[in-house]
Structure 1
Amino acid sequence: MGGLETKRKKHIMALFHRCAYAPTIAEFDKLLGKLKADGEPKVIEFLSRLANEHWCHPYFVGKRYGELTSNLVECFKSWIKNEHRLPITQLVDTIRVKLMDQMSNRRDSGLKWKTIICPKKDQKLGELFTLSKTWNVVRSNDELYEVHSDPFVSVDIGRRTCPCGE
């Protein structure tokens, strides 16, 4: 997107991000139309070369678990930044030793916990449990449930849908 002003680049990138993480195909199509309408010819040409199943949630076959980036790879590269130039056998052995050390430290840390799960997640689970105490969940059939809360919602477990669309 060379040659575009910063504000315009940010707008187009934000639209691209919203398209990639759209919860439904209808929302994706709506956002993609806006991206193409607002985008430059370069953007439209770039999008025409991308298969939807490779870059956006609603078309992806499988599970992405909310991630569309290579941040994990970058994190791993920074973890082995001093060792990445070693011959492969030494590199693998160094990674093995680093993993052993990391697991040992985490085991020692975990032994100090007063709960079965990570303290931060235990706290979050407690907060969600307290919030859900006022909910009344009624099963309509094997896959459809009604959650009586504020607001009342219907959740389809089989289709993995609810009114929020996510």
Structure 2
Amino acid sequence: MEYPLETWARHKFDPKVKCDFVANNHVESFNSWLGNIRQKPITGILESIAKNLMSKFGKRFQRTVEWTNTIVLKARNKLNSNVSKAATCELIWPSGNLYQITQMDTHMSYVVNLGERSCYCGEWQVSGVPYRHACAAITHTRHDFENFCSDFYSKSTYEKTYSTFIHLLHHDTMWTEVDNAPLDPPVLKRPISKPRVKRKREVSEPEATRRSSVITCSICGVFGHNKRRCEKAPTAA
């Protein structure tokens, strides 16, 4: 197999990470940040990235002021969804922190251990948010669901993450000169063809969709012409 299971199969994810996300949206976001910045020198690219990070860190830190929950918003929404799904589960409580949960739509049974924060389905350990089976057990204890989420999703952890800031920089003309040898840019070799602007896509990555060029008339609904050339358009009196 070309890629190890730990990089794309959820059941092989490291439970210490507390993330079940498979997509690479953060890479796509970074690529969209670059945009036209790619044409700048390396110092200009780094300065633009630093400015974007400064703005994002500040906005995300200020966002926590409006929060009333003890966990981040996305984890709270996911938890609410799992709590609603817990209504389809049947519970057996022998004693202590152990529960046997039966999912009625699939008739599958799972053992939940609230003390160890684990469920045999593995969803709770990987994501860090109690899944429907664990939510059914927590409902029986009448405890707060948010207390069983990983600390990675807590408001305090979020604040610590964005409490630091990117150090500000003056314009490069104000930088302190050093005695080291000047660093010259690499020799530019222009290819014969037009320089490539778009990034190379992976083999498994779908091609970018293009907007359809087919014209549809808003009056008659027929393809191939617009309302200006439509024969059924009302004429001016």
TM superposition score category, shorter chain reference:
0.3 to 0.5
TM-score, structure 2 as length reference:
0.33
The structure richer in helix per residue is 1
TM-score, structure 1 as length reference:
0.44
